Chain A
Amino acid sequence: MASPATTAVDLTAALVAAPVDSTQWLAVLPIGICLGVGALLMMIRHRTEWHAPVALAGLAILVLVDILLLSKVLTNGPLTMMMGRWRPPFGIAITVDLTGALLALAAAIVAFACALYAKIDISTSGRRYGFYPLLMVLMAGVSGAFLTGDLFNLYVWFEVLLISSFGLLILGSERAQIDGALKYAVLNLIATTLFLIATAYLYAIFGTLNMADIARKAPALSATAPLMTLAALFVLAFSMKAAAFPVNFWLPASYHTPRVVVSALFAGLLTKVGVYALLRVMVMLLPIEREGLSFAIAVMAALTMILGAMGALAQNDIRRFLGFIVIAGIGNILAGVAIGGAVAVGGAIFYALHSILLMTALYLVSGEMGRLGGGFGLDRLRGLWTSAPVFAAVCLALFFAASGLPPFSGFWPKAILVKASLDIGAWWLAASILVSGFLMTMAFGRLFLFAFWRPAAETVTTPAVPGGPPPVSVPSLSLARSENRWRLAPIVILSAFVVGFGLFPERLILATQQAASDLADPSAYIRSVFPEGDVR
């Protein structure tokens, strides 16, 4: 209890005096919705039949809130809400800028599509093991990571999404899952610990963990403080999260083992959170150090995309094949970080958005292919073109998008990145983007050739592959069957985005370029956290 003598404390410097605007609540709402729905699902854990509708409703609201948030950020600039009204650097800020809002929206769409697909893919026992609560907590972690304005908070959200991803990864408890999960868990835990180490050094240097505060102080300190070491640590930690070349081996070891819908969710979201953190820290917080490390990052990017595409060429299992495609895509985004400048970073953000939607769609498609063809091996998949022509056409569009061929969404970011790297004279980086695209085209071409075009076997004997889904006797995809509608709807939703971004890219290019220039010049971001006239 404060004694009467101590009442004369002036709190206006430490507390937000103005009443909280209702739009500011939008900034925390995505996290709140996910945690709230997740808690609700835990409470009704025995009523598994309620899980899917509740989670779908929650995710639909999440998509709407993220759309609203994005429109607010587009019109008014970055949006900040201070937790507990404490001003930074004491209080924790949730700051939403254009990059965060765009990625959060894409993540919410992907999660909604996955929840839709999970209605069929996740059995009652999977629901009882908590698929939907874990999905909601994962989304809380992903949204929190995209929206937070505090570096230590970013670490905490990383851990939130990591622990829920462990739960999702071992759903089903197969031997391969346990094996994959062990490698995934240990290596990802080491990566987040590296991130924590870097955060500790950052706190020692800056005395603050608020991103706007760091962005304000970094240029003055770069001459005296060991920021280069710090930046290198951040790059190592985040590229491990993003599965960039030298530290990527946990991804192909684990991503093909869980349920298809879990793989799809992971491929869409988890590596992109690492890439987002890299963009945020290197482009916005430590721009001078990014300049210094740009050659190293560029080499890493080139190796990641070439070796990812080559790894994909060597795979027989289509899910492992897609794991390497995820890695190749990360290389393209890293190239944007390495080149720097608003154009290239904008291209990287565009590629990240495209990759979130596309990789999820591709994994969902792989699940369909496995179901239709009775296995995931390229050596046994055949004749899907004749049995499911519409599905095959959708797949072809997605494969084009993944290879970066027009007129689908992969083309534009790659074109932007190639032009940006030629502009700074890094012809070898442009060449590696193109070579990687060529190798991916070959890999996808072969996938299409074997799985779809190859004539179906004469005798329809498809014995079940151990570990694969049981063969289904009716391989047609007529929409009359309600089960198929649930399976196809998410693929159609995601493919619509892939096609739409490819055909009408102008607005998205404008938005991502704006997001990138906001990252490169964070004055609006800083003003949002520290309003004008605030001396602290």
Chain B
Amino acid sequence: MEPVFALVVGIFFAAAFYLMMSKHIIRVLLGVVLLGNAVNMLIFTAGRLTPAIPPIIPAGETVLPAGTANPLPQALILTAIVISFSFFCFLLVLTWRAYQDLGTDNTDDMRVAEPVDDPAPPMGY
């Protein structure tokens, strides 16, 4: 199972980086969300893929039965999903606002903070 997951994670990463290299913010954002999902799957795979036995201790036992799933990666992924989703929402709103205010979603044209014709410092007085 691991090779398949590794392959999928790799494809996700490749697609995410391809999108993030775009000039257009909206594609960059799609790349960011894809990257977040790729990382979640990476954490999942990193926590070892096991048969789908839920990590529940049966009655009368004190330890987990052999071969149960590792619950920790799932907890980590849950945290990461919440964080990356909220960030994606924020960035989406920010991009919309930037599109309204700056009139473009092309990063090459967004030169308000760093204007092209910024004056050079004075040479002397």
Contacts and interface: CB of A to CB of B under 8 A. Distances in A.
Q: Say if A and B assemble together.
A: yes
Interface of A: 3, 5-6, 8-9, 152, 156, 159, 162-163, 166, 170, 173, 175-183, 185-186, 189-190, 193, 196-197, 200-201, 203-204, 252-254, 256-257, 313-317, 377-379, 382, 446, 450, 454
A22 to B, nearest CB: 30
A152 B76 contact: yes
27 contacts: A3-B59, A3-B60, A5-B59, A162-B87, A163-B86, A170-B94, A176-B112, A178-B98, A178-B112, A179-B102, A182-B95, A183-B107, A185-B91, A186-B28, A189-B87, A190-B20, A196-B43, A197-B42, A200-B39, A252-B114, A254-B113, A313-B121, A316-B118, A316-B119, A316-B121, A446-B121, A450-B122
B50 interface: no
A241 to B, nearest CB: 15
B91 A257 contact: no
| Residue with the highest number of chain A CB atoms closer than 10 Å, among B39, B42, B114, B118 | B114
A189 B86 CA distance: 11
A174 to B, nearest CB: 9
A203 B87 contact: no
Nearest to A449: B125
Contacts of B94: 166, 170, 178, 181-182, 185
Contacts of B80: 196
B119 A163 contact: no
B108 interface: no
A385 B3 CA distance: 68
Contact of A159 (B39, B87, B98): B87
Interface of B: 20, 25, 28-29, 32, 35-36, 39, 42-43, 45-48, 57, 59-62, 73, 76, 79-80, 83-84, 86-87, 90-91, 94-95, 97-98, 101-102, 107, 110-114, 118-122, 125
Contacts of A5: 59-60
Contacts of A382: 125
A232 B105 CA distance: 33
B106 to A, nearest CB: 12
B120 to A, nearest CB: 6
Contacts of B73: 203
Contacts of A201: 42, 46
A329 to B, nearest CB: 20
Nearest to A178: B98
B102 A178 contact: yes
Contacts of B61: 6
B119 A193 contact: no
Given A6-B59, A6-B61, A377-B119, A175 B112 contact: yes
A179 B115 CA distance: 11
B121 A315 contact: yes
| Residue with the highest number of chain A CB atoms closer than 10 Å, among B60, B107, B121 | B121
A379 B122 contact: yes
Contacts of A256: 113
Nearest to B75: A152
A377 B121 CA distance: 8
A205 to B, nearest CB: 9
B83 A378 contact: no
Given A178-B101, A190-B20, A163 B43 contact: no
A261 to B, nearest CB: 18
Given A6-B59, A189-B32, A156 B39 contact: no
Contacts of A193: 32, 35-36, 39, 84
A394 B108 CA distance: 40
Given A175-B102, A178-B101, A203-B46, A197 B39 contact: yes
Given A170-B94, A175-B112, A178-B98, A200 B79 contact: no
B23 to A, nearest CB: 12
Contacts of A3: 59-60
* A-B interface, 10 closest residue pairs, ranked by CB to CB distance from nearest: A204-B46, A180-B113, A179-B112, A200-B43, A179-B113, A316-B121, A200-B46, A176-B113, A176-B112, A159-B83
Nearest to B87: A189
A180 B111 CA distance: 9
B50 to A, nearest CB: 14
Contacts of A254: 113
A83 to B, nearest CB: 14
Given A6-B59, A163-B87, A179-B98, A196 B113 contact: no
B103 to A, nearest CB: 10
Given A182-B91, A377-B119, 18 more contacts: A152-B79, A159-B87, A178-B101, A182-B98, A185-B87, A186-B25, A193-B39, A196-B80, A197-B39, A201-B46, A204-B47, A204-B48, A257-B113, A313-B121, A314-B121, A315-B121, A316-B120, A454-B125
A175 B101 contact: yes
Nearest to B43: A200
A407 B100 CA distance: 51
Contacts of B39: 193, 196-197, 200
A254 B107 CA distance: 14
B99 to A, nearest CB: 10
